[in-house]
Structure 1
Amino acid sequence: MSGFSLPSRPRLHWAGLLMVSLVLAGLLEWAAFPAALLLGPMLAAIAFGVGGTSIRTPRWSFTAAQALIGCLIAHSFTPSILVTVAAGWDMLLLVVSTTIAAGAAVGWVLTRAKVLPGTTAAWGSSPGGASAMVALAAEFGADVRLVAFMQYLRVVVVVLTASAVTRLFVGSAPPPPSAADIWVLPPFLPFIATLAIAAIGAVLALRMRVPAGAMIGPMVLGTALHAAGLVEIVLPPWLMGLAYAGLGWTVGLGFNRAIFLYALRAVPKLLLATFLLIALCAASAWLLTLVLHIDPLSAYLATSPGGLDSIAIIVVGSHADAPLVLAAQTLRLFLVLATGPALARLIARHA
């Protein structure tokens, strides 16, 4: 990697990143991959980040992307989710707990094998949202560089594998919307209300220091208003395309050369740990299909150890049971945020 570098011209970098993102997103869209508008910018940004670019997405853009993803989740979160949780809350809780235990087991193995220190391995292998885990890791003394590397590496692997699995089950995806559909103006008042939910929910949650508050705040506020029938959440394709690109660029540009070289020797073991975690979660999905008799795709996405935001993008573009998947992923995120510090201390002490 030492011979690969990019010229230090930010405007050229942004133009190049935009062009490569459009090409990759177009190719993935043509191949009918779910979350193509997330995967394309993410893969392009990884190449630029490792190549040594100095450009970074502004913090507000990542916050805005998370807030819109929260509104997207709220739009899919209907009263039927409560019915789903009520019908199988015990098994759902068991599967979610099993996924968290699988992440803790992987962190324990990485610590015992002396690949990473205990606290860093624990937060890096936690199956929650990458940004929330990195933020919490900084507060509890972990090596944030390695936690970010592990989390973003797993996000890429999980998104790629979940997209491939979804493509396998879905088969031929519906045709993408036409240019006229993409750029159509949304209804004014519902659109303004949606933007207000995104802004107010994010600001309130961040001021209350809620982990991953930029996404959780709009998700909770939007779910309450949408499920009660008080607000119609409207998210035009062009706006969500910008949100997906912002999220993908933020994750991808997190891969800089220093982090890459620092963790290069551990990459094979980290990849092995990532695939081990995915396999353990897939075993939980198999258990879910046996007990609750749900389709394999919904079970796989419900237990997939990616972040709530990226899995939400995939499930919305698939034929999976969105209420079940989002209920499981949301429950797991809250449980990881609640149990993460104690698990990290436990692994650091005993592994």
Structure 2
Amino acid sequence: MVYTRKTFVWAALILVSSVFAVVLQWASLPAATLLGPMLAAMVFAFCGVKLTVPRWAFTGAQSVVGCMVALTMSPAILSTLLQSWPAILFAIALVIIFGALVGHGLMHFGTLPGNTAAWGTSPGGAVAMMAMAESFGADIRMVAFMQYLRILVVVLTASAVSRLLLGGSVADLPPPTWSPGFDAPLIPLIQTLVLVAVGVLAGRIGRIPAGALLIPMVLGAVLNSLGFIHITLPPWLLWAAYASLGWYIGLKFTPETLRHTLRVLPQLLLAVVALMALCCIAAWMLTVWAGVDPLTAYLATSPGGLDSVAIIAADSGCDLAFVLSLQSLRLFAVVLTGPLVARLICRINGRSACGMA
């Protein structure tokens, strides 16, 4: 009887998550297939429903996200990087430093626990930051809220800047597609699933923090760029990973967590605005030093999600290859440097709640 009731509750959660995801996609919000399940799980948790996502599902989701990050390191991106590497690396370093400065300020003057501020203010890779944060002792609920608050504000601002200030047109999100992608090429799919499995197993056996994400990311980037494998991520695989990650986070929310989130909302908004302002400095330096046009420089250094910025850049008349190269490499760099930056910020602030989980 208990098993039947639990199955019914899971079926209800899946149904509500699907409805939320469709509504968010219709509203043109980024990462609808992650935010929908997360919001649905929060509603269920507030109603007293006791569900837990199996640990293997969470680590599997981490590994899929690692493959997704690896896929951004394509030969075309690397070609553009080789052509403009000084400007791109300089801008990436600046944005990472600015993110660390904002995280330091939020931790020093704010009220967030442990290294949550450091992970929450990492400039890019929201899903990856959420997938890694808990492994390094951060509050995954607050990290998720901070990351998607930043993306929402950045996307709205980037759209306004593109349209009103710099003369570009705003790209609409592509029409939603709900095809599960069961017709994905078999051999690349098998290669991708093997890479996911390697990440999960190596992360557990090697006891590497967030190894389930980092190992597929690095290994997949090398093998995919060299043409030894072809990573493919059909919608059904991404939906499963995003739903697992969303449920894992959402089911941990409590009324007290929500109250705390609302109390610190002004701090978080101030941090987002500060990070955006600092990134504008990086954009200005690109225009002065490398001769990059203002719109391209602004979108390339914008601390938003890669997919959202790419959509805006596509129809804005800017150098799309430069924007995607800088955003993709920054995503890769932020994931690799995230643990080091978080640990450094904690050490500067004298926090002890930064131990590795």
TM range (shorter): 0.7 to 0.9
CA-to-partner distance for each residue in 1:231-273, whole Å, 9 max, x for gaps?
A: 2222222222222222222333343234334555333323332
* Worse-matched range after superposition: 95-104 or 296-305: 296-305
**2:148 aligns to what?**
156
Q: In the aligned structure 2, how far is the partner of 1:157 from the partner of 1:257?
A: 19
CA-to-partner distance for each residue in 1:35-62, whole Å, 9 max, x for gaps?
A: 3222322333333344543223222212
Give matches, 1:101-112, under 5 Å: 101-112=97-108
Residue 193 of structure 1 pairs with residue 191 of structure 2: yes
**2:75 aligns to what?**
79
Residue 76 and residue 329 in structure 1: after superposition, are their counterparts in 2 closer, same or farther (change >3 A)?
closer
Q: Report if aligned partners of 2:62, 2:131 keep a CA contact under 8 Å in 1.
A: no
Residue 36 of structure 1 pairs with residue 38 of structure 2: no
> How far has the Cα of 1:122 moved from its partner?
4.5
Residue 289 and residue 195 in structure 1: after superposition, are their counterparts in 2 closer, same or farther (change >3 A)?
farther
What secondary structure sits across from 2:24 in the alignment?
helix
Residue 340 of structure 1 pairs with residue 354 of structure 2: no
Q: In the aligned structure 1, how far is the partner of 2:44 from the partner of 2:286?
A: 40
Query: Which of residues 96, 108, 120 is equivalent to 1:100?
Result: 96
**1:172 aligns to what?**
172
Aligned residues: 326
Q: In the aligned structure 1, how far is the partner of 2:203 from the partner of 2:21?
A: 32
Q: Report if aligned partners of 1:75, 1:233 keep a CA contact under 8 Å in 2.
A: yes
Q: In the aligned structure 1, how far is the partner of 2:178 from the partner of 2:113?
A: 50
Q: TM-score, normalised on structure 1?
A: 0.76
Residue 314 and residue 342 in structure 1: after superposition, are their counterparts in 2 closer, same or farther (change >3 A)?
same
Q: In the aligned structure 2, how far is the partner of 1:73 from the partner of 1:14?
A: 29
> How far has the Cα of 1:25 moved from its partner?
1.7
Q: Report if aligned partners of 1:108, 1:118 keep a CA contact under 8 Å in 2.
A: no
* Worse-matched range after superposition: 244-253 or 312-321: 312-321
Q: Report if aligned partners of 1:35, 1:314 keep a CA contact under 8 Å in 2.
A: no
Q: TM-score, normalised on structure 2?
A: 0.75
**2:165 aligns to what?**
none
Percent of matched pairs sharing the same residue: 36
What secondary structure sits across from 1:184 in the alignment?
coil
Residue 256 and residue 159 in structure 1: after superposition, are their counterparts in 2 closer, same or farther (change >3 A)?
farther
> How far has the Cα of 1:314 moved from its partner?
4.5
5+ residue gaps in structure 2? Answer: 161-168, 315-319, 352-357
Query: Which of residues 68, 85, 92 is equivalent to 1:89?
Result: 85
Q: In the aligned structure 1, how far is the partner of 2:190 from the partner of 2:100?
A: 42
Residue 116 and residue 177 in structure 1: after superposition, are their counterparts in 2 closer, same or farther (change >3 A)?
closer
> How far has the Cα of 1:281 moved from its partner?
3.4
Q: Report if aligned partners of 2:104, 2:349 keep a CA contact under 8 Å in 1.
A: yes
5+ residue gaps in structure 1? Answer: 1-8, 139-143, 306-310
> How far has the Cα of 1:339 moved from its partner?
3.4
Q: Which amino acid aligns with 1:339?
A: V
RMSD: 3.5
Residue 214 and residue 16 in structure 1: after superposition, are their counterparts in 2 closer, same or farther (change >3 A)?
same
**2:234 aligns to what?**
236
> How far has the Cα of 1:325 moved from its partner?
1.5
> How far has the Cα of 1:203 moved from its partner?
2.4
Query: Which of residues 221, 224, 237 is equivalent to 1:223?
Result: 221
**1:15 aligns to what?**
11
What secondary structure sits across from 1:277 in the alignment?
helix
Q: In the aligned structure 1, how far is the partner of 2:9 from the partner of 2:269?
A: 29
Q: Which amino acid aligns with 2:53?
A: T
Q: Report if aligned partners of 1:34, 1:167 keep a CA contact under 8 Å in 2.
A: no
> How far has the Cα of 1:127 moved from its partner?
4.5
CA-to-partner distance for each residue in 1:300-349, whole Å, 9 max, x for gaps?
A: 465426xxxxx355467774644432111111222232333223211238
> How far has the Cα of 1:114 moved from its partner?
5.5
Residue 67 of structure 1 pairs with residue 63 of structure 2: yes
Q: In the aligned structure 1, how far is the partner of 2:284 from the partner of 2:251?
A: 35
Residue 91 and residue 41 in structure 1: after superposition, are their counterparts in 2 closer, same or farther (change >3 A)?
same
Residue 47 and residue 273 in structure 1: after superposition, are their counterparts in 2 closer, same or farther (change >3 A)?
farther
Q: Report if aligned partners of 1:194, 1:235 keep a CA contact under 8 Å in 2.
A: yes
Residue 154 and residue 279 in structure 1: after superposition, are their counterparts in 2 closer, same or farther (change >3 A)?
farther
Q: Which amino acid aligns with 2:13?
A: L
Residue 99 and residue 106 in structure 1: after superposition, are their counterparts in 2 closer, same or farther (change >3 A)?
same
> How far has the Cα of 1:192 moved from its partner?
1.3
Q: Report if aligned partners of 2:120, 2:146 keep a CA contact under 8 Å in 1.
A: no
Residue 185 and residue 82 in structure 1: after superposition, are their counterparts in 2 closer, same or farther (change >3 A)?
closer
> How far has the Cα of 1:224 moved from its partner?
1.9
Q: Which amino acid aligns with 1:223?
A: A
What secondary structure sits across from 2:264 in the alignment?
helix
What secondary structure sits across from 2:111 in the alignment?
coil
Q: Which amino acid aligns with 1:271?
A: L
